[in-house]
Structure 1
Amino acid sequence: MMKHLIFILLIVTASLGLAQAQQVGPNISWDNDTHDFGDIKEDGGKVSHNFSFTNTGNAPLVITQVRPSCGCTTSDYTKEPVMPGQKGFVSAVFNPMNRPNRFSKSISITTNSNPPTSTLRIVGNVIPKQATIEDEYPRVLGELRLKTNHLALMKVNIDEVKEGELEMINTSSKLVNVSFRNLPSHIKAEAVPETLKPGEKGVIKVWYDAKKKNDWGFLMDRITVAINGDTQQNRNLLSISANIEEDFSNLSEAEKAKAPKIEFNENTFNFGTITQGQSVDYTFEFKNTGKSDLVIRKTKASCGCTVINPSKSLLKPGETADLKVKFNSTGKLNRQNKSITVITNDPSQPQVTLRVTGMVEPASGS
């Protein structure tokens, strides 16, 4: 019996010794690793909290890195070594502006303890601020404010007249008359009401006639607004964008089977590495593999590329043509990725994107 007790005591003593050996070195112990700010106001300014810790090890503790997640910052932390038994802190700061509703942010702390990384967390709920007129209508146009000065009509069929509107408010103390100058033939615009009383809201209605525009793809127009007859030297501008497409949605399966089809020999040209100032040329080849005439509606190149009209704009079934492209590297450096958009009457791919890529190196001596 005595031998058995001695054996147990030896095991316990050995275990305690092992545990003490394992605790050699610094050790970080947080008072709390999570802080709840509760409800805070979005416009109430930044909030902060100090997370306190104790070095419960037997060697100096050093914070080597503090890494907050997006939306959270650390203003300060203990930078000098923390002796055994002493305390330190990490300060977390959160800015609630433009971050309404619930939030949860983390801070990763790296030290010379084992394990080296620990995570702190701040949580809370941001009460949204009351929106002002300036918040709701951020764009200024003379005495008017608008929610946006860009009307995106998105997809517009070639035979469609599409309508859109922009919301506005008169923030001045006088009557404001809204009219328009030099509208293009494919755009009509009207202010409703035409004259706004102080504080009155209204809309600018726009009608976009795609057939009159007689173009294809992504397009941008700008119209001039006169406020009480004043255009601010044509600086009162609204932008209107549209992507004009052909409507193939009503085609039957039989019509689709007889449709034209465009196929390129390849869709990407990689010119490798060239010196700044050099130009490269390439010819994309394509074929109509469909069963009716293929029409090339439009070709459009991104900045830095020049595209020459295809050798044919109408291809009978089985016919081929080519599209010549030039890339000028003047003023460009490093990796380049340019695009050429080809718009056709192929229902399966009415827009084909070709790419010209490569690397531009500085000229020697530059």
Structure 2
Amino acid sequence: MRKYIFLSLAAALFSLGMQAQPRISFSETQHDFGQIMWRNPAQTIFRVRNTGNQPLEIKAVEPDCGCTLVSWDQSSIAPGAEGKIIAKYDAELLGHFYKGIAVYTNIGENPYYINLVGHVVIPSEGKAENFPVHLGDKWLSTENVEFDDVRRGDRPERTVEVFNAGKKPMTLGLMHLPQYLDADIQPSVLHPGRKAKIKLTLKSDAIMNMGLTQASVYLSTYTGERINRNNEINVSVTLLPDNNYSEPTLKYAPIAHLDTTSVDLGSLGTKKRLRTQLCLTNEGKTPLVVSTLQVYNAGISVSLDRRQIKPGEKAKMKIIVNNSTLQFKGRRRILLITNDPKTPKLAIDVNVKK
């Protein structure tokens, strides 16, 4: 009988021990940040409720990587009360992430797990539409820089933006910079997910000839990088003559008129070349002189049957586009510089499909 009473009492005490303990409940066991910006840390709070009848102690909170920082209430959580665990993700890596956090308590040896999920994206300044030229991990706002309608003495500026879409820093530099260009790159060390600005300043006094001057500069991302088509930026300058003309001169000046300033030649396909013809008319009162006739693209050839056109007369312009034009970067244009004081520059866009 005594043995039976002893066993019954032990069972009752054991049952009470099983019932008298803390229990843990989380406001959520997985938090979804959705989209967050690269290198903009995101933080959330997990609410912890003690649903048991004994104090709950959070002994340790251990994230599965150094990318997550945590803090929590160090004091015991009374039955029915709440504590909190703060979790902060550093967002240093692009892409989707799933991070686990182990929560150790006085309930037992095994931890409870809470999780962080989300998607780290490039900031809006790094969206592909802002950088249409993709040269590997270098994304550029343009690979064709034009200084149009420049007069001697001008110092115009152009900006090329560069975005680092890779995972390693880039040390930016410009190779083969001509003497008539100054370049300023800020910042010169471009970290992943960031953009830099290359400011190009033209020193027009250093250009010798009127009309079109072209050069290629090469964007390097590390010391010792070689030049190639994948880091080439085209630079073109159109230097115009001075436009200081008196009223009598303007009254009797030549006037240049083209049939069109845009030519659509269709598709090259398997053809070796495409041809077309335009007319340049002098609608003024004195002879029109074409001093410069140039092309922006080496795959285009152009000729005029005469360079001096009397008032009321026309000159025939023949344009031939070779299939090699598709190998060259930049716009396909033809440039004419004339003695028309009001319109000294005429440009013809030549449109060709593959």
TM-score w.r.t. the length of structure 2 is 0.41
